[in-house]
Amino acid sequence: MAAAPVSAPEASTDLGNRPAAPQTLVDLREEGSAEPSSTGPDRAAAVRSTAVLREYDQLDREQLGLDDGEWKSLVAFARANQQDRHGDYRPVLGFDGSGRKLRATNYVGILTTRRGRPIEILPKIDLAFDANDAADDQETRRVFLEMLRTWRGLRHAELPPSSIRSLKRFPMLEAFVFLFLHNLAHLARHGLARRYVPVEDNLPYLRGRLLFREQLRENLTNRARFFVAHDEFNANRPANRLIRSTLSRLRRSVRNDANRQLLRELSDAFSDVPRSTDPATDWRRHSVDRTMQHYKPVMAWVRLFLFGEGLATYRGTHENQSLLFPMEEIYEDFVTSCFRRWQSEYGVRAQGPQKPLTRSPKAFWMKPDITLQKSGKATFILDAKWKRLKSRADDGEKRGISQADMYQLYAYGKRYGCHTVALVYPRTEDFDKPVRFVLHDGLKLLCLPFDVSEPKQSVADCVDALHRSQRPHLAAAAAI
């Protein structure tokens, strides 16, 4: 059930009585290190001020205002997290050739130093307007949140467009907390899911079934009490315990006044529910049945905040998760969703259909990002790549296109019987028109620009370019 659109809270600069040991979703403190004891305006300013970077920007220690301990912990964190959860080399932060300087990679989200300084990493997006840095950051954040709505990792989490427009001026952590809390407020208004739970208790009255062994042991000389077993209808169930644990964790990191107020109110609504003592087991045991559909968006946020499920989850010495999102997946899912939404000529198949590259034995299975189909047959194969193509001046005709990507698309075209395949890259100032290659056997490969800030027009332009590639006059194009 969708929550009603809500407006974002006003930005706050008053921290109020914040917890003594502020923590956020990523904790870079070294094992056994004490929380810094510094207080006063400098400390408050460090917590309030969010450093904003872009993908592949260098992390400058002086500009970020990091002390020696913070910087060392950030470097140690980067070195410890050079692989993703699948074991592939995909560092959360990269190093330069010297191995001493840090730079952002293509993960977008929030990192927080051990003193509570948030570092926000935004995607590198070329927007179609000229604005100052603050406005550009806000518009980039809006576009990113729009892209995130379609990402597989959030599943049922809801990001209403009306909220995205108003939340673009907030750091991502506060924006996500805001959306979670308002989904949770919607759940609380519809009532917490309850169930009958078996309870054993020593009561001053008889209720349920008398437990004779326990009665003799506890009440042999006290006939005014009864040791009984009965079923109690209450909210102490796995899903609610997980929500309560999430609220407790967020209490240490939320800084926005409106978010903190709503967090307190919702914590009161869950005051009768104990925190989960074993979140992993409770997650396996919890279920959302047909009577609990209003729990779906809330539990999707719980996965994000409590477990980091579906995210590129990097852990420091403590068990807190970083709030980092893989831009390759987000872009791929966004482009797929846009082709489904903004054109109706072709059926859109994501991550398929799968076919083996070899006939005997069947092996090396192929799985295209996007297949445009007619009558169940693949017409075009598209592969979304979150990479920036170079200008012709930098790299001639190759434009920085990976040779491995060319091989991959060639294999797709031959195996699926397509006449045209395409690599879909984000539009930039250096890449705003399709690039066409004709291979020696006539297969056409296009590189298509996709403007993430104007997805409807981008889909129309991509489809038009694919159609034009099928016209006879292009057969005379020079082979590469």
DSSP string, 359-388: TTTTEEEE--SEEEEETTEEEEEEEE---P
Mean pLDDT, the chain, rounded, equals 76
Instruction: Flag whether pLDDT at 49 surpasses 90.
Output: no
Confidence at residue 42, expressed as pLDDT on a 0 to 100 scale: 40
Considering the domain architecture, whether residues 124 and 216 belong to the same structural domain is answered as no
Is there a domain that residue 338 lies in?
no
Instruction: Flag whether pLDDT at 442 surpasses 80.
Output: yes
Instruction: Flag whether pLDDT at 195 surpasses 60.
Output: yes
Higher confidence at residue 326 or residue 131? 326
Confidence at residue 313, expressed as pLDDT on a 0 to 100 scale: 37
Instruction: Flag whether pLDDT at 461 surpasses 50.
Output: yes
Q: SS3 for 149?
A: coil
Is there a domain that residue 146 lies in?
yes
What CA–CA distance (Å, rounded) separates 2 from 5?
9
Is there a domain that residue 32 lies in?
no
Give the structural domain span for 218. Answer: 195-234
Instruction: Flag whether pLDDT at 474 surpasses 50.
Output: no
Considering the domain architecture, whether residues 181 and 103 belong to the same structural domain is answered as yes
Most confident of 329-333, 392-396, 401-405: 329-333
Confidence at residue 50, expressed as pLDDT on a 0 to 100 scale: 74
Q: Considering its fold, how many domains does the chain have in total? A: 3
Is there a domain that residue 334 lies in?
no
What CA–CA distance (Å, rounded) separates 142 from 147?
9
Considering the domain architecture, whether residues 242 and 216 belong to the same structural domain is answered as no
Considering the domain architecture, whether residues 293 and 184 belong to the same structural domain is answered as yes
Considering the domain architecture, whether residues 251 and 285 belong to the same structural domain is answered as yes
What CA–CA distance (Å, rounded) separates 260 from 250?
9
Q: Which H helix or E strand runs over 436?
A: strand 435-438
Q: What is the mean pLDDT of residues 248-253?
A: 81
Domain end (from 265, 291, 326): 326
Q: Which H helix or E strand runs over 280?
A: helix 279-285
Domain end (from 272, 292, 326): 326
Considering the domain architecture, whether residues 464 and 391 belong to the same structural domain is answered as yes
Q: Which of 92-101, 298-307, 337-346, 356-365 has the lowest mean pLDDT?
A: 92-101
Is there a domain that residue 366 lies in?
yes
255-286 residue pLDDT tens = 788 888 989 998 888 888 888 888 888 888 88
Which of the four pLDDT bands, split at 50, 70 and 90, describes residue 40? very low
Q: In the chain, what percentage of residues exceed pLDDT 90? A: 15
What CA–CA distance (Å, rounded) separates 163 from 148?
13
Residue 259 sits at the vertex; the CA angle it makes with 64 and 47, to the nearest 5 degrees, is: 20
Considering the domain architecture, whether residues 425 and 285 belong to the same structural domain is answered as no
Is there a domain that residue 17 lies in?
no
Tokens of 319: 């068990």
CB atoms within 10 A of CB 474: 13
Which of the four pLDDT bands, split at 50, 70 and 90, describes residue 14? very low
Is there a domain that residue 55 lies in?
yes
Considering the domain architecture, whether residues 158 and 296 belong to the same structural domain is answered as yes
Considering the domain architecture, whether residues 203 and 187 belong to the same structural domain is answered as no
Confidence at residue 27, expressed as pLDDT on a 0 to 100 scale: 37
Considering the domain architecture, whether residues 313 and 446 belong to the same structural domain is answered as no
Which of the four pLDDT bands, split at 50, 70 and 90, describes residue 12? very low
Considering the domain architecture, whether residues 159 and 295 belong to the same structural domain is answered as yes
Considering the domain architecture, whether residues 318 and 348 belong to the same structural domain is answered as no
